[in-house]
Amino acid sequence: MRNLFNFSIVVLAIFMAACGSKKNTESEEAVEEIVIPEPVIEYGFNLDSFVVERDTVQPGWTMSHMFQGYGLTQYQINIAAEMAADSSVGLRYIKEGKDYLMLCDREDTAKKLLYCIYPKSIVEYVVFDFTTDSIIVEKREKEWSIEEKMISGEIIKNSNLTFALDQQLKDINMTGEMAEHIAGVFAWTIDFFRLHPGDEFKAIYTEKSVEGKPFSVGEIKYAWFRHQGLEYYGFKYVVNADSNKVGFFDEKGKEMKRPFLMAPVKYSRISSGFTMKRFHPVQKRWKSHLGTDYAAPHGTPIMATADGTVIAASYTGGNGNYVKIYHDEVYSTQYLHMSGFAPGIKKGVRVRQGQVIGYVGSTGLATGPHVCYRFWKNGKQVNHRAEKFPPSVPMPDSILPKYLEFIEPIKARLDSLPITPYVVESDSINV
């Protein structure tokens, strides 16, 4: 009897344990089925806290159109527009096709506007805050990251640096930035209007990304270019930490910067070179052309190719709007057919190398937008592209060993980076 009793207790215990286990399992399963959704966060706002309305700027819209229907007075709209146009925000007008957000009060059936979020770019956005009596308008930025990257490529027939870069970057803005940065490193040593098929390049640079999407080239840190069989290196280096003096130097410690830039514009093509005999497209006769024509889109910035003093900023029937710069007792330069002068450019003004002095146009005797760049040496016009300028001053012996030690591993990285081949995607390339 005792054994039967004990057996019954054991069976009952097993049964109760099983039931308890089943209840726990069911309870656990029930807990697992409860999913708490993640809050929807955009531009730093929890959108679950608002009634969210998304819209797009239509053709011809002003800020008044954007704010219509949200209970704002015209006075409030005018104040918001004035605050947005302030230099700290820089939003003077809204752009057609731009998407924006309106965040309204969930408890207000009249759809009271609390915030308007207008994106200026992939990173910057403007927040209009109507939650208090005092309207607040401020520019904010999304969190972005920066990462070191490497790129390489080659120039093929009927191509150029921009095409080679665009194959990999696939973004017109980043391609333009990268081309400008690379050309900037070698602006004193390589004529980018004479690139040859087979020329190659490599660069170590920083890339900015937001929400995992690249949007900008930060800077070129180190670069290499093979042009017509010659190799050129450029390493960014802080020469003097106290004065924060930074420059680009080659593999031997010589500064990349030279007395003159190779060209007065960054994006263009040579439409007519220096020659003693050319058929003038306007005057319809043969005459000398003592300059180099760089064809570029209307409004392209024109740069002073060297430090100097403006000795003329004027207009003539043949030259159109032009600027002439005196550099020293040997050299002077002139820039013709401008659409207009840059702010502050007038006779007697001192300018720096690379400073914008005007913009490409077609004033004077010109058939299309370009800048005619003229170069004087000892009072005589010469072909600047045939000139041999003195080399830059080498780095002081006191810091050269440290510099060479610094660039050694970087140069090895550049040398080991393979060239990304150019893949032709169509039968022809229009340059």
Per-residue pLDDT tens digits for 295-313: 889 999 999 999 999 999 9
Residue 34 lies in a domain: no
Q: Are residues 112 and 133 in the same domain?
A: yes
CA dist 176 → 54, 122, 149, 164, 179 (Å): 32, 17, 17, 11, 5
Residue 25 lies in a domain: no
Identify any residues that bridge with 332 across adjacent strands, giving them in sequence order: 326, 376
Q: Are residues 332 and 224 in the same domain?
A: no
Q: What is the pLDDT of residue 172?
A: 86
Cα distance between residue 226 and residue 205, in whole Å: 18
Q: Which domain holds residue 379?
A: 269-386
Higher pLDDT, 290 or 95: 95
Q: What is the pLDDT of residue 9?
A: 47
Total domains in the chain come to: 3
- Residue that is last in its domain, among 112, 141, 170: 141
Q: Are residues 55 and 135 in the same domain?
A: yes
CB 309 within 8 A of CB 334: no
Cα distance between residue 152 and residue 317, in whole Å: 46
Residue 106 lies in a domain: yes
The closest alpha carbon to 118, from 67, 186, 192, belongs to 67
Q: Are residues 93 and 171 in the same domain?
A: no
CATH of the domain at 323: 2.70.70.10
Residue 9 lies in a domain: no
DSSP 336-381: EEEEEEPTT--TT-EE-TT-EEEEEB--SS-SSSEEEEEEEETTEE
Cα distance between residue 202 and residue 144, in whole Å: 25
Six-digit token string for 159: 């191509």
Q: 343-386, pLDDT tens digit by residue? A: 999 999 999 999 999 999 999 988 889 999 999 999 999 988 77
Q: Are residues 156 and 114 in the same domain?
A: no
Residue 131 lies in a domain: yes
Mean predicted confidence (pLDDT) in 169-193: 88
Cα distance between residue 117 and residue 125, in whole Å: 7
- pLDDT band for 37, please (50, 70, 90 cuts): confident
Q: 55-65, pLDDT tens digit by residue? A: 999 999 999 99
Buried b or exposed e, range 5-19, using 16+ CB within 10 angstroms: eeeeeeeeeeeeeee
Q: Are residues 247 and 282 in the same domain?
A: no
Q: What is the pLDDT of residue 62?
A: 93
Q: Are residues 340 and 359 in the same domain?
A: yes
- Residue that is last in its domain, among 103, 118, 141: 141
Six-digit token string for 327: 């550099």
Six-digit token string for 413: 């990285």
Residue 396 lies in a domain: no
Q: Are residues 134 and 185 in the same domain?
A: no
The pLDDT of residue 430 is above 80: no
- Only one residue has tokens 């403007």, namely 126
- Residue that is last in its domain, among 220, 237, 258: 258
Residue 310 lies in a domain: yes
CATH of the domain at 125: 3.10.450.350
Pairing of strands 144-154, 213-227: unpaired
Residue 31 lies in a domain: no
Q: Are residues 131 and 168 in the same domain?
A: no
Q: Are residues 137 and 151 in the same domain?
A: no
Q: What is the pLDDT of residue 424?
A: 64
Q: Are residues 225 and 170 in the same domain?
A: yes
